[in-house]
């Protein structure tokens, strides 16, 4: 059958509402058909197959999955799972404001006044007073012109970076930067280069070599790195960005509410003027007991994002019952700095005791996040399982999230953890290391 005849038969089959096979249009080898069949199956995706390998490996070594455990109440220094109370190190509720009665009341009152959804993008008809009150409060704490809040922390980085920069630009980021910044950089189409962790000298070398080839340059770092619990020398990064005429973006997802004398983040820690950094980013889901993200900076930046950034422009506005508790948490952060002091003291105690016991804490600086390096994914998973059996909930971080030799347990500290809980945890950890 020639090509014309095949075409005519196809048309006739369609007119008679009869199914037409792929091979009647374009004869394929069996190998091609097998490839196409696999391409239409979700279980053939590489990511899914990798998950199955990890799952089967865990079963082989007698390790149950530590993920998707159901917490049956407020998760703070303690939590309840399957009816049992655990000492909990798997929550970002650093200041114990998620679950605070005053914060919860703010959410309930917001629902009563505004309902459970603003039901539109803010540009159209989703604007509520709470949005501007929260944004104004954030801007004031950073000492900058304005701020904008978005419904997702991850999407905040994706849409901000992805929209503001383009193919003629260069994005330089710390090698340990969060996935949200990487996705934003990929979306932008800009040239993307990583520099060694916290190495401002290496960044300076890159800029000396590359700056002249690009229109705009963005440098992205974090205030507190969630895998390692360390932070950058912000004044040096500011010096480098000023010298090379670049933008500097600081992701304060984990550092705001945690660093500084009163919890105002890495800016307060280093006593930096807010205007020294071009783009401040943070989340509402950790110290601020809500959900979503924010960008703070000069008026031109914020107005630009609010009117044109797709992740804000085409997204429903933040629900009032999310904005209200974040605003209440901001107020309590300023009124009760003892929460920050307690968190910092507990964190420092955990780190010092861990060192005394010979635990490898990697780069951790003893501020809210402390790693315990096991050296292998299997070792980290076994340690997590052993501690869970003893009433301690802490998550393993496995390859490929980190290098295999850097697999670890990651302890998130709360201001409400007691010294007794920390001592019991470290004893249990050392016992588990000895027995596994």
Listing DSSP states for 41-70 in one string gives: -GGGSHHHHHHHHHHHHHHHTT----SSPP
pLDDT by residue for the chain (436 residues), tens only, comes to 444 444 445 444 554 555 444 444 456 677 778 778 888 889 888 888 888 887 887 777 788 888 899 999 999 999 999 999 999 999 999 999 999 999 999 999 999 999 999 999 999 999 999 999 999 999 999 999 999 999 999 999 999 999 999 999 999 999 999 999 999 999 999 999 999 999 999 999 999 999 999 999 999 999 999 999 999 999 999 999 999 999 999 999 999 999 999 999 999 999 999 999 999 999 999 999 999 999 999 999 999 999 999 999 999 999 999 999 999 999 999 999 999 999 999 999 999 999 999 999 999 999 999 999 999 999 999 999 999 999 999 999 998 889 999 999 999 999 999 999 999 999 999 999 999 8
pLDDT for 22: 45
Q: What is the DSSP letter of 434?
A: H
Tell me the C-alpha distance between 240 and 263, whole Å: 26
Predicted TM-score (pTM) above 0.85: yes
Task: Provide CATH code, domain 58-88+337-435.
Answer: 3.90.1150.10
Q: Which of 310, 311, 308, 314 is nearest to 121 (CA)?
A: 314
Lookup: tokens for 40: 């239409």
User: Order of strands, edge to edge, in the sheet holding 84-88?
Assistant: 78-81, 84-88, 392-393
CATH class as words, domain 101-335: alpha beta
pLDDT for 4: 43
Please list, in sequence order, all residues whose beta carbon lies within 8 angstroms of the beta carbon of residue 335, skipping any fewer than 6 positions away: none
pLDDT for 60: 79
pLDDT for 26: 57
Based on C-alpha coordinates, what's the Rg of the chain? Answer: 25
> H helices within 61-216, ranges in order?
101-114, 129-142, 153-164, 179-188, 200-210
Give the residue carrying structure tokens 């490996």: 57
Facing residues of 281 across strands?
Answer: 251, 295
In the chain, where the domains are located: 58-88+337-435, 101-335
pLDDT for 10: 47
């Amino acid at each position: 059958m020639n090509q014309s005849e095949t075409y005519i038969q196809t048309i006739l089959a369609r007119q008679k509402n009869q199914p037409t096979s792929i091979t009647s249009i374009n004869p394929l080898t069996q190998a091609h058909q097998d490839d196409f069949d696999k391409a239409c199956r979700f279980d053939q995706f590489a990511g899914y197959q990798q998950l199955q390998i990890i799952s089967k490996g865990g079963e082989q070594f007698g390790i149950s999955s530590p993920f998707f455990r159901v917490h049956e109440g407020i998760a703070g220094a303690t939590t309840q799972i399957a009816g049992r109370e655990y000492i909990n190190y798997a929550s970002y509720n650093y200041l114990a404001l998620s679950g605070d009665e005053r914060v919860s009341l703010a959410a309930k009152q917001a629902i009563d006044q505004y309902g459970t959804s603003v039901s539109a993008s803010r540009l159209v008809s989703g604007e509520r007073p709470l949005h501007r009150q929260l944004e104004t409060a954030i801007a004031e704490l950073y000492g900058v012109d304005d701020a904008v809040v978005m419904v997702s922390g991850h999407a905040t980085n994706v849409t901000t970076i992805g929209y503001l920069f383009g193919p003629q630009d260069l994005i330089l980021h710390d090698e340990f930067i969060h996935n949200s910044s990487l996705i934003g950089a990929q979306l932008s189409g800009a040239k993307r280069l990583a520099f060694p962790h916290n190495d401002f000298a290496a960044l300076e070398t890159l800029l000396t070599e590359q700056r002249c080839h690009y229109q705009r340059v963005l440098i992205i770092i974090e205030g507190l790195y969630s895998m390692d619990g360390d932070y950058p020398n912000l004044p040096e990064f500011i010096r480098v960005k000023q010298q090379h005429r670049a933008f500097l973006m600081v992701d304060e997802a984990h550092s705001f509410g945690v660093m500084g004398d009163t919890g105002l983040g890495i800016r307060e820690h280093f006593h930096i003027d807010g205007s020294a950094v071009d783009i401040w980013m943070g989340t509402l889901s950790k110290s601020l007991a809500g959900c979503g993200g924010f960008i703070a900076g000069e008026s031109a930046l914020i107005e630009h994002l609010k009117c044109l950034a797709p992740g804000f422009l085409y997204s429903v506005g933040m629900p009032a019952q999310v904005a209200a508790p974040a605003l209440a948490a901001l107020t309590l952060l300023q009124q009760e700095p003892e929460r920050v002091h307690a968190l910092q003291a507990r964190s420092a105690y955990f780190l010092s005791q861990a060192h005394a016991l010979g635990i490898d804490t990697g780069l951790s600086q003893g501020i809210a996040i402390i790693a315990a390096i096991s050296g292998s994914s299997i070792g980290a998973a076994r340690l997590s399982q052993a501690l869970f059996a003893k009433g301690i909930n802490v998550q393993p971080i496995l390859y490929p999230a980190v290098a295999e030799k850097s697999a670890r347990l990651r302890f998130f500290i709360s201001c409400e953890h007691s010294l007794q809980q920390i001592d019991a945890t470290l004893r249990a950890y050392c016992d588990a290391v000895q027995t596994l």
